[in-house]
Structure 1
């Protein structure tokens, strides 16, 4: 099943949920690709003149195509198939998000058949409707969050328009965008030692730390956990992690 959600988040209603929003559980995206998934990913990336032919997502690490650089910080360890909600650690940018969605969708379909949900964010989906049409035959759900509403939305099985701002906000005197992923307001007790050390290092470094250094010194899990707890915020323009008010307020 293929869903489009325009303008805001909606409730998750599946036994197995994989989302780009921070949750308490994290997972890699390491899966073997079904033949259909491999074909669709090749077709999708060929439109960027950077075709990728892979049979396992781990091959994205060694791929020479520029698109593959988007996956350099992805967690390519095995996908954990467990009930509940899990955040997959991968880039949430086009077209990488759609590559991940296709890979996970077909892997979950093979293992679970139904009862699963994969959430991604994409504004480039109208360019790839013919590829996405294949997802309609799956028994689980691929949900695409977007700010792009197009007549091509008619291709989806379900479309939800969830405007979370008032019309007068368009006057631009003040505009507060809808928070796609809302981090916890305060971290729960028992923050892991490596997360505490990462945040302390960022504070002592002037309030920010490079993403590359953080990953090399503290690891993917500590970085993802610190972001999920609202202690650090990722700035894609500078490829750095910045300390939040929540972290500073903890003393």
Structure 2
């Protein structure tokens, strides 16, 4: 059975952070794999995407982007062909009922946004590059274009790699300002543990988001529920699955 994880902050808004449970994929990516680049059977991926969308808004129209770890956000007014060319971006916003905004992750942080009063929602793929480069600010700014207000926006940060699981080197640390030291705990010689979720939370606060719900779920350490790029890499796996985070306005 597909079991979306919900955030209390988004009560009343159709949404869910999907796990790997309940899908039809088998083998290495067994479960609810929604990643087209996971070496999975195409029909299985399509069925998993249908199952995930129906668990959030039955009858809704799924809309996703081709994610490239960018700061770019697109405003969705009409759905495009999911099997065809999709915009290269890492966030989507809309005020159109019936559209299900989808973000694919496998360690990066998925963020779901809503301003209920304005009837505006958003979804962002916030890996460290996107979060550092401005994808959060871009999403909030795009929501404002549709009538949202920053102080009314609520945001939930879904399952992502946890600090105990996210070892990085000096070269990674060099991308960040001295004021970001709070997100790094010293590890073995020349290495740190990076707090991606807390960093994304800080970026949300800097963007003026009113209320934030970090779910505190580590994709790496919970293989029964979540796919993880880094875990698959450490295990020498040939590929890895991806999970969905979805949000929609009911019609």
Fold conserved (TM > 0.5)?
Answer: no
TM-score by length of 2: 0.26
Point out the structure with max Rg over C-alpha.
1
**Greater fraction helix:** 1
| Structure whose residues are more often strand by fraction | 2
